[in-house]
Structure 1
């Protein structure tokens, strides 16, 4: 048994502190026992008497006793021997010795073996004896209360330890739950962002179907604008707004007639030119209800502004123009010049580049022109797609697209990052078979499961 458990058991075995104290008087002289009984009972004590040490031990075995008063000189078993046995068997019982003046050695034996609290000489003074008994019992009560409080403290500490362990376990479990919920929320948010961009790409493809541009024109503009923004070290949110603005740069032209869409910008005059100049503001109005596209809407509104202040619709000058609009204007013109949307003939890439460089500081921001020139001159005019190109027959479930899967007509079939499953792979293969054209399929590095 541990020390703490033994202390608790001992404290629980003791009678309550406020119980009537029990005093056992042991003496071979009946008159002494009677005197002690008459003295102690009126003081509020329960008094038991025994005429020998053996009788006293028998009483102790039957009931608890708080204090023992034993005579020294008794036949068969003297007080020192009796008190020594009491000390061994009932150590928490207070022990007092009655003795004569000449019993010095007996007193020493009782002190050493019986560990008595006090000794009282015969004849005793009643008040002194009562005072000694009272002080002895008070001391025992204090020790008993101390043991009780120690046992209570031990139990409470063990309960607190158990509660702390349970609390730690609950905290760990709740932490794991919150981490799982957070990871699920992050994954859901990433999925929403991916779906959002995919939706924008679908809308962009729908605009191209009517605009007469070459397939993939909006994606080319958006990609160039994004790379210029990255070269200028803009933050992630600005880069995304610029990329989306590139995809939707023709959104305001949705109400144009087919003839107007097919007419180069330099051939527009009068009302047609005025209507064309309003398309950025119309694009902004269409996107205004979407809180997440407010930045993109501001870029689209300012895409026809000029660095020298001669643009539309607000006549902004220089750095008053949003940086995204300054980038978008260059990217749109670079590809429009090559596709005949600005002038009556299709320019070569180097001719389009030359016109843009000549307009630096007039139509375009010189810093944006410099970034564009570094990208083009560095061989980055067309960024190589990431991942590995594969045939449709090489597709396996679990592969993720490294770039958008686009049809020959420019329609986006699947967005980048889409994870292929068996049903989608079959649809891609069926599309190729029916169209008679091989798709350019780029997937991220993939390790098949053995």
Structure 2
């Protein structure tokens, strides 16, 4: 029996398609320096002709090209050469084109122009590794499936080969799983890096979303999608400026609003390189949709919105209200719930009452019932802080449990406009 193996270190073929010669030359120089074999085409038609003649591992295509754009070209590649990995190059502003390429071209990776060479090379190396593992797994699966047919012509040594191949297959699957888990950790680290003064916010969203999913008796897979969707829902904000990222939604200017509402698309696109996270990406893409059809980015309504996204909508809004990210004032638990209930038309009518019951049973919500919010001029000596008093840049003025004096209240009145939370009935010492 002949044995076929895949050489992971063999020269790999990359096809670059762009109607701009300078872009093609830049990509060619970059990839040749890494010992890749590079083919170039200045149109989708020429790219298809090359694919018919050459075995191509990765296609890197521009979106905006005359006659045949990147989405149409990559759609043909996906249909005729599904094993060829597909990378899309375009500008951040071209969101509609990106969505078209995701849906029709089934792209594996998306990079914005101008790209960073390090990001481009990392993306290519990751895709080549994925392709090699898939090719190796396919080969091993084929060898195993032929075992029964070959038993009549093979000797006892065949069993040793099958065992070895089975071990290799298992090892390949383990590597794929390790790659998946490592990718998630990297994505989580990137997002947490941008949380700043709101550190722990995404974990709080994930906690509340998972509790609701558990009440709904979601499967283990669905729970994972909800949890990871909550942890990564702000991934698309990494590309926004901090002035927009941490500004209350209702205070955004029209231009800021236009940029801000793209973040679910950017977050979902960032996960396009990881097929195992497709459902998570879909949950993130639609978590800003509203049950009444007035959300974004696609104005989906009712149960056309994925269940995971409907769960995230409640958990995200509840936590954003408490962090001052939705409206200018930070709301305690009771006020945040009231805000959501008063806008019930935005949420799934089956999920909303369940979510309210879950939150009301949590210790933080119980303590909020004994809490009042005041501006400094309404404070009186003897009041006890129910929360740390923190400035906008994260500096702690006073800690929870501090008893206010007339002198402290006078100083608070001289500071920036600040909401102060105190106990209605101070806890017994």
Q: Please report the TM-score for the alignment, with normalisation by the length of structure 2.
A: 0.44
Structure showing greater Rg = 1
